[in-house]
Amino acid sequence: MPKHHIPAIENALSAALAHYEETMGEAFPVVPELLPVEDDEFWGVAEAKGDTVSISVSTGIVQTLTDLWDKAADDTDLLNGVGNPFQIDNNEMVHLGLVWLMLHELHHFQMGHFVFTGKLSLTEANAPKRYGVAQRASTQVSAYDHIPEEDWPKVEPCLELQADHDAMEMLIDAYSKDGWEIIRTRTAAISAMMMLIEREDTKRDSPGTSHPKAATRIFQLLGHVIEMPLIQAKLAQARPEQNLDSAIPPDEEQSAYNREVTIPSFFDAVNLARIVDTDTIREDLGEAQDFFQDVHVAKLGDPEQFQHLMTEGAVQWGELILLNRRL
């Protein structure tokens, strides 16, 4: 595996830390340790190491992302979009995918997931055996005590969704009418990484034990993208002491945003699932009408309505979000 992939990993962590500092107004609370590993396989691991976090990433992730976006750059359906062509800069898409992965791992640490689970490491995709998913700290915490035993298998997928959410929110950044292309580009980069993680995760002896479906992660991602024009106004209402801008974009702007960003982003995900060659993800995403109806149901926030969710990703999201509220 070419050593030139190592700087790509290093640059991604630097960019992730810069995104964190810009968003939070302060530096990440610790200095992470980064360990790029020359390995053809696709995997990443975040480890609790003393008072900090150590992130190991294989160069195989960079190569896999490079191969994917090289292939995507020649895919007519993806490039044509849905009434809105998709401009691809291969190097940028690889970089964005890596930055999101780094933010995801940093948020595992920042959100206390190691302490909560008592695990020494949290893995992405088909990690080496020494990072076994059962590896735990010598002193096991009792964080699961208040959770029914039948829900224990859902805990780590919930934590993954938590890290996903904060990482994607940080990378995509705030809504701006001038930033629609950035939102779509970064959404596609994140979607692709989620799909590759699922594809590689299926190679484990016990696949799917700690991660949600890629379609579930993308359902949460696109739900956030759909909501972005309204987030500022909602924050202003919830935090009047901060004197935030409470203006809601006009209806015509929201409609244009849906045409140029929201709907194309769904079909970008559909095309990426085909390019990644994972039929199950395409099936789990469902048809556009069902997907967006599920987003509408989810936005209502009424658990009694979750029984009406139709697509596989949305159904799993509904199951996990109920537990997530109790964690």
Condensed to tens digits (0 to 9), the pLDDT of residues 285-302 reads 999 999 999 999 999 999
Q: For residues 20-38, b (16+ Cβ closer than 10 Å) or e, as one string? A: beeeeeeebeeebebebbe
Q: Kindly report, residue by residue over 255-269, the tens digit of the pLDDT.
A: 999 999 999 999 999
Whole-number pLDDT of residue 241? 75
Question: How high is the pLDDT of residue 191?
Answer: 98
C-alpha distance from residue 188 to each of 4, 5, 212, 218, 302 (Å): 24, 21, 18, 10, 29
Distance CA 27, CA 107 (A): 13
| pLDDT tens, residue by residue, 121-173 | 888 877 776 655 444 444 444 566 677 778 878 888 999 999 999 999 999 99
Would you state the pLDDT for residue 128? Answer: 75
Residue 245 in this model has a pLDDT that exceeds 80: no
pLDDT band at residue 283, thresholds of 50, 70 and 90? very high
d(CA 279, CA 311): 14
Q: Phi and psi of 111, rounded to 5°?
A: -90, 5
Q: How far apart are CA 136 and CA 72, in angstroms?
A: 39
> What's residue 303's pLDDT?
92
Tokens of 63: 């190569």
CA geometry: angle 104, 110, 116, nearest 5 deg: 100
Q: How many CA atoms lie within 13 A of 327 on its CB side?
A: 23
Given a contact cutoff of 8 angstroms between Cβ atoms, the answer to whether 214 and 194 are in contact is yes
What DSSP state is assigned to residue 227? H
Question: What distance in Å separates the CA atoms of residue 120 and residue 295, rounded to the nearest whole number?
Answer: 35
pLDDT tier, 115 (very low <50, low <70, confident <90, very high otherwise): confident
* Whole-number pLDDT of residue 143: 60
Going from the C-alpha of 102 to that of each of 124, 135, 182, 217, 254, the distances in angstroms are 11, 21, 19, 16, 31
Least confident of 86-100, 152-166, 235-249: 235-249
Instruction: Specify whether the CB–CB gap between 42 and 200 falls below 8 A.
Output: yes
Q: Taking 50 as the threshold, does the pLDDT of residue 208 lie above it?
A: no
Q: Which two structure tokens, joined as six digits, stand for 301?
A: 């926030």
Amino acid (1-letter code) at residue 34: L
Please give the residue that has the higher pLDDT: either 232 or 1: 232
Name, in order, each residue with C-beta under 8 angstroms of 200's C-beta and a sequence gap of 6 or more: 41, 42, 43, 64, 125, 126
